Structure 1
Amino acid sequence: MAEHYKANPDDRSDNAEKLQEMVQNTIDNIHDAKAAIPHSSEQDCAAIEAKNEHRLESIQKMKAEIKEESQYRK
């Protein structure tokens, strides 16, 4: 006999705050990575730059999601 599970309610009350914290953490990671560049090999520098580009794209997506969450709360 199959068990039936009740889905958890969609609690989005703190999503915007969590996303904002994630944005700030990502910005901090970008700064830390840039600080490591002078002490890194050429290959590592290229990897850091690529990762930072990806981080910037992620920040844009998270900011769009924050905007969506803010509209949801209204």
Structure 2
Amino acid sequence: MKSKPDDRRDNVDRIQQSIDNTIENIHETNEMIENTNREKNKDDLKAKNCRREAALDEFKSEIKDEARAKEKGYK
């Protein structure tokens, strides 16, 4: 069985979609933080958003790498 060749043409689009989804999740979680009175829940939600912020930094770095690779024809 032959494996599929690596097709990276849509990687930038997929990463951008992940960035958009993560930003939306951060905003929704911020609303949840504002609307809850339980400190434990707030702390958990804030921690989750911190992890999301870190993921955004990684996504942005990855999208730059993919954009450069796309410009070079993925060589």
Q: Summarize deviations over 1:27-51 as a string: whole Å, max 9, x none.
A: 0000000001132211010000000
Matched, 1:28 2:24: yes
Q: Calculate the TM-score normalised by the size of structure 1.
A: 0.90
Partner of 1:54: 51
- Distance in 1 of aligned mates of 2:28 and 2:35: 12
Higher relative CO (Cα under 8 Å, sequence separation at least 6) belongs to 1
Task: Say which one has the larger Rg.
Answer: 1
Unaligned runs of 5+ in 2: none
Alignment equivalent of 2:34, drawn from 25, 32, 38 = 38
Tell me the amino acid that sits aligned with residue 30 of structure 2: K
Alignment equivalent of 2:65, drawn from 58, 68, 71 = 68
Q: CA RMSD in A?
A: 0.8
Query: Aligned pair count?
Result: 70
Give identity over the alignment, percent: 36
Q: Summarize deviations over 1:6-62 as a string: whole Å, max 9, x none.
A: 110100001001101110110000000000113221101000000000000000001
